[in-house]
Structure 1
Amino acid sequence: MNNKLLIAFFYLLIISCDNKDAIKPVTDLKDGSDSSSYALGADLGENLKKQYVELDYDAFLTGLRFGYDKGNVPLLTKEERKDAFQKLQASIRNKQQEQSKGNLKLAEEFLEKNKISDPDIKETPTGLQYRVIREGSGGSPTSMDQVQVHYEGRLLDDTIFDSSYEKDEPAVFRLNRVIKGWTEGLQLMTAGAEFEFFIHPKLGYGQRGNQNVPPNSALIFKVELLKIFEKNMK
């Protein structure tokens, strides 16, 4: 769900009205309308959770009904809604900043211990850590090359946030269009190799994170380099 749509739903979240009719849970999706409505609600719920919104279901659902049907008198004026929304945004930013600081501390502590816990783990001057699981053969790609890989990405709590194995299809990337840890790390590999990378946030998704990666998260990737599309191979 894009940010504009999410923001629109935040507005609905902070509206409430007098209608407190019970909401019937849907257990069977019968047509395109109820399926798309369910999909929208599920996507919204996931995004609200990731944005640290503390949800009051009764207020949310009655507000949603008011915003959609306009059949009741609102309990908040437009100015009051705007003020409540600004406070919500500030609360979300504060929680994100707290999480970002905590994640950076955890990442640095993990990487510091990681490099001394296993003699097979090496570290580059940029701070990228890696372990060779299986050597390949031939040349290595450059940052301008495309590669075909199988990979699995995990967070420190072992949550898998991305995996080509789960999609049952290898991925193709140009190495200058991925995170820095990948751009650097895959140039250490040859075709057929399998490495494990331990990536500092500055070489990953940084303070911004992404939809599946919290801000300032350390990343652990297992990567198999299946093929190099030979153009600038070194």
Structure 2
Amino acid sequence: MKPFAIIFLLLILTSCSDNIVTTKSGLQYRIVEKGTGIKAKAGDEVFIYETTSYRNGTVLYSNYNSKSPVKVLIGGNQATAAVDEGLRGMRVGEIRELTAPHFLVKRKGYPPNVSPDSTLVIKMKLDRIKRR
């Protein structure tokens, strides 16, 4: 491969990874669609649509086709650490795709069909925020 082709390829790969955020905990996320309004924070009740899958695309859980979003209290130990962290800073209508290492998705009995050492992909859409 010629040097200019290698440089071009590296530029493309670098620009694709620029929109992926890695947090201190090891959670990675990217904003698929921007939202509007206030940012969700600890103590807010939020209503979300979510699809959780393995990296290969096998869906483990989804409520995207339901008419009712799931209610989560941010910081209230009602969701996995990955979901709780991923919700912080989201705006209404925002869609985020999280890549969550196994230690951020562990939860007693949930989901029952998930291998305990699996990295999961979680796609979330914030439907609304209820300030407490």
Q: Work out whether 1:204 is the aligned partner of 2:105.
A: yes
In structure 1, list runs of 5 or more residues that go unmatched.
1-114
> Percentage identity across aligned positions?
26
**2:8 maps to what in 1?**
none
Asked if the contact 2:82–2:104 (Cα under 8 Å) also holds between the matched residues in 1, the reply is yes
1:31-110 to structure 2, matched below 5 A, reads none
The separation in 2 between residues aligned to 1:125 and 1:179, in whole angstroms, is 16
Q: Work out whether 1:220 is the aligned partner of 2:121.
A: yes
**1:149 maps to what in 2?**
48
Q: Work out whether 1:192 is the aligned partner of 2:98.
A: no
TM-score w.r.t. structure 2 length? 0.77
Select the structure that is richer in strand: 2
Asked if the contact 2:41–2:89 (Cα under 8 Å) also holds between the matched residues in 1, the reply is no
Which structure has the greater CA radius of gyration? 1
The separation in 2 between residues aligned to 1:207 and 1:199, in whole angstroms, is 17
1:131-146 to structure 2, matched below 5 A, reads 131-146=30-45
Match of 1:126 among 25, 34, 42: 25
RMSD: 2.4
- The alignment covers a number of residue pairs equal to 117
In the TM superposition, what is the alpha-carbon distance from 1:217 to its structure 2 partner?
A: 1.1
TM-score w.r.t. structure 1 length? 0.46
Cα distance change of structure 1 residues 165 and 139 upon mapping to structure 2, 3 Å threshold: same
In structure 2, list runs of 5 or more residues that go unmatched.
1-13
Which has the higher relative contact order, 1 or 2, with Cα contacts under 8 A spaced 6 or more apart? 2
**After superposition, what is the alpha-carbon deviation per residue over 1:114-157, rounded to whole angstroms, capped at 9, x for unaligned?**
x9973321101111100011111222222222111111111122
